[in-house]
A and B are shown apart, each in its own frame.
Chain A
């Protein structure tokens, strides 16, 4: 027998260790247990699924050992996330096993909000809610049922809406990151949808404050676009380095740190800067003249029906947005404005990206239109590397709804949260709260169901919501955690976590291609199969319990069955593919670009099986030649000077004209409150309800290097002037209230601003929510709450 040096060393070490054990006595090695005959190695499995923790809906791959989820990684087959995953997705493991998680339904046992609960079975909870809803319907007031639902695009939203329709209530209220971009698209293009951005193929991405790498629709989309597997350091011919990226922002954010160029700007002046850039583009003849001639109205002056000359976009911009004036308002130098415009022309296709940071402000609608005008001027609509209106996945519709007389009568009643804003849906959650909290009458809502909604934390008007909740006779929460709003519920029917339930997961609106991700159970429900129930399954069971046309409208026994039936639409669509490797994605896309589609499966069951195994379905083709994707206005042309908006302004009779209020910041500091509050979402804690996992608390934002406690950021210059230093506790005070935070002296903060992350809380529950300090201003045309018009002062705590 021969023995290698390595083998010798190993056996010598093992003998030494064994001798030490014998000498010490009583110590049991796990290795010795492994040698026992009854010991069996654990079973390990990796299963693809979809993350549901934010709207991005990235592909995930769960590693399960002996029935325990031990790791969540990215699914490389997912076309948008391509194997990447953000810290929040990775930390889902800690959410699943969090000690504060609710694993069984709870019914209030004592006064509301007192914190006394009694555990019941899921069936018991469904029965309890079913009785309540049956009684409400029998009383002839089905419309008194309201649902406040967070972001749940896909079949969950469809099931909720169908349930409400069949039940007879028009009060499905979506509280789902309404950023107002749909209003801009509606006014300019006649297409009331949030746009998608083909970041990956853009030559230049000009972001107007959009937190692409933080709490955007899909940070992973941005990561892939700017540095994903398709890009390299120049190794191969088919690889590229990604688009040039310019971040215009009021703070030196994490996103700004990743950009090629950061342009600091005065808050509330994004629109002015956009029109300043438009000025240079027009003046220097850098616009897409052909595109404008063929597809755009309102660029040149025109005469109206009465023969009066109307000012077109070109004249308006050339007259009012000279570079020097724009520079004075925005704080961006003239040279930089000119350079940005030339950069757009040099790096075609250049796409301007914007969202709530532009629109959630006084004058935000004009600012949004101004930014979008850049995409129009560059002809970068429905083009590769441009702004697109994406398709939805062609899933099979739900069965046709059956409506009985009570349902029809209930649906005819005016919705509680009907908007009064001239454009868009406004802030329906606030409308609901105001209607319910109103003095002197009966609450129009008898039963309120809260699904992924925590208005006491997320609303800018928590006091209204607090009152509203106290007015509703029966409040139900589906939160898997005892969050601020769930504490005021009468019944909590906690949803299972995404790793325990079936759900579909369409890619967010920002992604140009339809992706139908599928989330499937990776592990059994935490408390056992009998203890919890996914909300989708609970709704289907509730429909059956109510019976009649409600049951007929949702005749599915489970979400799994419902999703499988919907997938038949994908199978029959004659397009797209089950998620596959980069090569398969490329091949499928290129075949479709050539007009051919590759059938992969001879029958549905094998298609469904592979779809579940691989994590979903996608179609990576987008029709860039379809003129209907440019505009669906009556003229079929894009309106740079939207007719409906001009009419509305004329009807106002206040003499306001289009784009005028982009000209200056709408609010100014006073002596009592000298600093502007800039709330922002932290990527890992975007919704404000997930400050639960240690991994996330440890690194909510790597950039300012502050962890575990709520903080605010102040520039070194301002801190010095105020006599404050890094790390001191301060009160952040506005006219509406105050909260305590640790001061972070941060060079990335502008001297006149206080940057305040949203979504943080103290371990003992003390609130630190900057949204609760906001003044009650709103964008007058859309009613979207204004986030950037509040001024505060800091005091040492």
Chain B
């Protein structure tokens, strides 16, 4: 990344161009009013994870170092701002460790940190394979077996499910269920069978059961390409989901805010949530005269990835809470806000604060210096939990907006170009 002002300016132009492209592609104008939900490129983040030596201490799914925590585990269910807060909280221990080992403190540009965090966020999307024994139980208890067969076991009201043994991820099964949902649910209602619902990893378990039990011969596992949230966003518009859920899934008077349902979930779990509401949804759509959306290929995975990313870049922090945090976390011991002399920079004039990611980047890069000062002055290292980082950023943004003559860094709004 080019850290020069001209580089930043060109990225700003690029962001505008991307925004224009999105608008021209039919994504609702509302998208232009709020930052894109998916800052950062997870592929680039994966490369950074290797190149900057993160893997010497940290692992992803158990691969990598063991000194620090597995980021795929501890990072699960956190937004970008929460992940940034987690990184920050962990800074003192990491500083001590890297110094003990003689390793240089890794620094990041704002874009790089966005990429790295995006990678940690993204890997959580992928389910571990389910448990076939549990899957057998769900298949029976949810009465799937009364209509479908696997490996010759089960009824033949609906199609046999053996062919899904070619897949490991349950998304194709979920997509098949979705596409046939209205018809299937109509039959279930007419037969007096309760429409099954799925929670947690139950859908992944059923997929594992199908793979283990299927009598499909000559099977060849087909791996799916990682879902693309940017494509999912387009599909979300193209499939007219926006008419009820809004352009970013934040809900309208017709449909709920999807953010609440997606953040801590993985592909199969989100698919389960969608299925659980599909009957109600299809009825509502029918009432409004809309056709039920169908998916092809792995489109559903893309839409799910989009929904997953909806809460990645949380906006709308609370400036008042941020002001309180600035005091309570002891920031005032080093930083001033109005031109007074202080140990650290005057944050009302800092280049970093316009975005929460910019704040996180600045804090991370200056972590060792801050740590030394804090240690010398015996100041307790401030920790940030939940949305505190977001609120603090909002407060500093307000400060910066009020402060004269400062140059803003445009926020990173580009969708992930490539995926890991």
Interface residues of A (CB under 8 A from B): 235-239, 574-575, 581-587, 590-599, 621, 623, 625-628
| A595 with B63: CB separation less than 8 A | no
B170 partner residues in chain A, CB cutoff 8 A:
595
Closest Cβ neighbor of B151 among chain A residues:
A627
List the count of A-B residue pairs having beta carbons below 8 Å apart.
Answer: 85
Partner of A235, one of B60, B66, B419: B66
Partner of A586, one of B63, B126, B211, B212: B63
| A590 with B61: CB separation less than 8 A | yes
Interface-centre pick from B63, B132, B167 (highest chain A CB count, 10 A): B63
| B223 with A239: CB separation less than 8 A | no
| B66 with A238: CB separation less than 8 A | yes
Q: Give min CB distance, A507 to chain B, whole Å.
A: 19
| A598 with B66: CB separation less than 8 A | no
| B219 with A596: CB separation less than 8 A | no
Partner of B168, one of A574, A581, A586, A595: A595
Closest Cβ neighbor of B266 among chain A residues:
A594
Query: Shortest 5 CB-CB distances between A and B: which pairs?
Result: A586-B63, A595-B169, A595-B168, A236-B66, A597-B223
Closest Cβ neighbor of A580 among chain B residues:
B50
Measured between alpha carbons, how far is A598 from B226 in the docked complex, in Å?
Answer: 7
A236 partner residues in chain B, CB cutoff 8 A:
66
| B221 with A621: CB separation less than 8 A | yes
| A238 with B62: CB separation less than 8 A | yes
| B225 with A628: CB separation less than 8 A | no
| A596 with B62: CB separation less than 8 A | no
B219-245: which have CB < 8 Å to A? 219, 221-226
Closest Cβ neighbor of B66 among chain A residues:
A236
B50 partner residues in chain A, CB cutoff 8 A:
581, 583-584
| A625 with B211: CB separation less than 8 A | yes
Q: Given A583-B63, A583-B64, A623-B219, list of 18 further CB < 8 A pairs?
A: A574-B225, A582-B63, A583-B55, A583-B60, A585-B63, A586-B62, A586-B63, A587-B63, A590-B61, A594-B126, A595-B127, A595-B129, A595-B221, A597-B223, A621-B221, A625-B165, A625-B208, A627-B215
A626 partner residues in chain B, CB cutoff 8 A:
219
Closest Cβ neighbor of B59 among chain A residues:
A238
Measured between alpha carbons, how far is A235 from B65 in the docked complex, in Å?
Answer: 11
| A596 with B66: CB separation less than 8 A | no
Question: Is B383 located at the chain interface by the 8 A CB criterion?
Answer: no
**What are some 29 contacts across the A-B interface (CB < 8 A)?**
A239-B66, A574-B225, A575-B221, A581-B50, A582-B63, A583-B60, A586-B63, A587-B61, A590-B61, A590-B63, A591-B223, A592-B223, A593-B168, A594-B127, A595-B127, A595-B167, A595-B169, A595-B170, A595-B171, A596-B169, A596-B226, A597-B223, A598-B226, A598-B419, A598-B420, A625-B165, A625-B211, A627-B215, A628-B218
Interface-centre pick from A239, A582, A583, A621 (highest chain B CB count, 10 A): A583
Closest Cβ neighbor of A627 among chain B residues:
B215
Partner of B219, one of A575, A595, A628: A628
| A595 with B212: CB separation less than 8 A | no
| B217 with A628: CB separation less than 8 A | yes
Q: Give min CB distance, A441 to chain B, whole Å.
A: 46
| A596 with B60: CB separation less than 8 A | no
- Annotate B194-228 by CB proximity to A: 1 below 8 A, 0 otherwise: 00000000000000100110010111011111100
Q: Give min CB distance, B146 to chain A, whole Å.
A: 23
Q: Give min CB distance, A578 to chain B, whole Å.
A: 14
Q: Give min CB distance, B392 to chain A, whole Å.
A: 33
B146-182: which have CB < 8 Å to A? 165, 167-171
| A237 with B129: CB separation less than 8 A | no
Q: Give min CB distance, A471 to chain B, whole Å.
A: 46
Partner of A625, one of B46, B212, B223, B225: B212
B66 partner residues in chain A, CB cutoff 8 A:
235-239
Question: Is B372 located at the chain interface by the 8 A CB criterion?
Answer: no
Measured between alpha carbons, how far is A623 from B168 in the docked complex, in Å?
Answer: 10
Question: Is B385 located at the chain interface by the 8 A CB criterion?
Answer: no
Q: Give min CB distance, B135 to chain A, whole Å.
A: 11
A238 partner residues in chain B, CB cutoff 8 A:
59, 62-63, 66
Measured between alpha carbons, how far is A679 from B420 in the docked complex, in Å?
Answer: 52
| B217 with A591: CB separation less than 8 A | no
Measured between alpha carbons, how far is A587 from B208 in the docked complex, in Å?
Answer: 21
Closest Cβ neighbor of B46 among chain A residues:
A587
Q: Give min CB distance, B215 to chain A, whole Å.
A: 7
Measured between alpha carbons, how far is A596 from B128 in the docked complex, in Å?
Answer: 11
Partner of B221, one of A590, A591, A623: A623
Measured between alpha carbons, how far is A581 from B55 in the docked complex, in Å?
Answer: 11
| A594 with B55: CB separation less than 8 A | no
Q: Give min CB distance, A351 to chain B, whole Å.
A: 21
Q: Give min CB distance, A384 to chain B, whole Å.
A: 12
Q: Give min CB distance, A598 to chain B, whole Å.
A: 6
| B61 with A595: CB separation less than 8 A | no
Q: Give min CB distance, A357 to chain B, whole Å.
A: 35
A575 partner residues in chain B, CB cutoff 8 A:
221, 223
B62 partner residues in chain A, CB cutoff 8 A:
238, 586, 590
| A574 with B222: CB separation less than 8 A | yes
Closest Cβ neighbor of B64 among chain A residues:
A583
B224 partner residues in chain A, CB cutoff 8 A:
595-597
Partner of B60, one of A581, A587, A594: A587
A584 partner residues in chain B, CB cutoff 8 A:
50
Q: Give min CB distance, B214 to chain A, whole Å.
A: 8
Q: Give min CB distance, B351 to chain A, whole Å.
A: 34
Q: Give min CB distance, B104 to chain A, whole Å.
A: 20
A582 partner residues in chain B, CB cutoff 8 A:
63
Measured between alpha carbons, how far is A575 from B171 in the docked complex, in Å?
Answer: 18
| A591 with B225: CB separation less than 8 A | no
Measured between alpha carbons, how far is A647 from B208 in the docked complex, in Å?
Answer: 39
Measured between alpha carbons, how far is A627 from B168 in the docked complex, in Å?
Answer: 15
Measured between alpha carbons, how far is A598 from B168 in the docked complex, in Å?
Answer: 15
| B169 with A594: CB separation less than 8 A | yes
Measured between alpha carbons, how far is A591 from B225 in the docked complex, in Å?
Answer: 10
A621 partner residues in chain B, CB cutoff 8 A:
221
B61 partner residues in chain A, CB cutoff 8 A:
586-587, 590
Partner of B126, one of A574, A596, A627: A596
Known contacts A582-B63, A583-B64, A587-B61; A574 and B223 CB within 8 A of each other:
yes
| A594 with B128: CB separation less than 8 A | yes
Known contacts A596-B223, A596-B226, A597-B224; A591 and B126 CB within 8 A of each other:
yes
B39-76: which have CB < 8 Å to A? 46, 50, 55, 59-64, 66
Measured between alpha carbons, how far is A593 from B126 in the docked complex, in Å?
Answer: 10
Measured between alpha carbons, how far is A501 from B353 in the docked complex, in Å?
Answer: 58
Closest Cβ neighbor of B227 among chain A residues:
A596
Measured between alpha carbons, how far is A627 from B215 in the docked complex, in Å?
Answer: 8
Measured between alpha carbons, how far is A238 from B128 in the docked complex, in Å?
Answer: 17
